[in-house]
Amino acid sequence: MDTFSSMIIGAVDKTKNAVVKIDVFKTDKGKLRPAGSGSGFIFSSDGLIFTNCHVVDVAEKIMVSLLNNNEIEAELIGKDPDTDIAILKIYTQGYSVAKLGDASQLQIGQFVIAIGNPYGYQHTVTTGVVSALGRSLQTQSGRYVDNVIQSDAALNPGNSGGPMINTDGEVVGVNTAVIQGAQGLSFSVDINTAKEIARQLIKDGKVFKAYLGLQLQDVQINEKIRQHYKLSNHKGIFVTHIEANSPASRSQLLEGDIIVSFNNKPVSSSNELFKELTHREVLSVVDISVIRHTELLNFIIVPSEKK
Contact by Cβ (8 Å): 115, 125: yes
Q: How far apart are CA 7 and CA 46, in angstroms?
A: 29
Catalytic residue of the set 23, 39, 54, 269: 54
Q: What is the separation of C-alpha 59 from the centre of its chain, rounded to a whole number of angstroms?
A: 21
Asked if 146 contacts 216 with a C-beta cutoff of 8 angstroms, the reply is: yes
Region at 209 (left for phi over 0; alpha for psi -120 to 50; beta for the rest): beta
Longest dimension (CA), the chain: 68
The span from the CA of 242 to the CA of 271, in Å, is 18
Instruction: Return d(Cα 66, Cα 128) in angstroms, integer.
Output: 25
Question: Does the annotation mark 234 as catalytic?
Answer: no
- The single residue of 37, 39, 131, 160 carrying the catalytic annotation is 160
Query: Which of these is catalytic: 23, 84, 146, 218?
Result: 84
C-beta of residue 207 within 8 angstroms of C-beta of residue 80: yes
- Is residue 84 annotated as part of the catalytic site, yes or no? yes
- Establish whether 246 is a catalytic residue: no
Determine the 3-state secondary structure of 87 from DSSP: strand
CA atoms within 13 A on the CB side of 223: 0
Provide the CA 186 distance to its chain's centre, in angstroms.
12
Residues involved in catalysis: 54, 84, 160
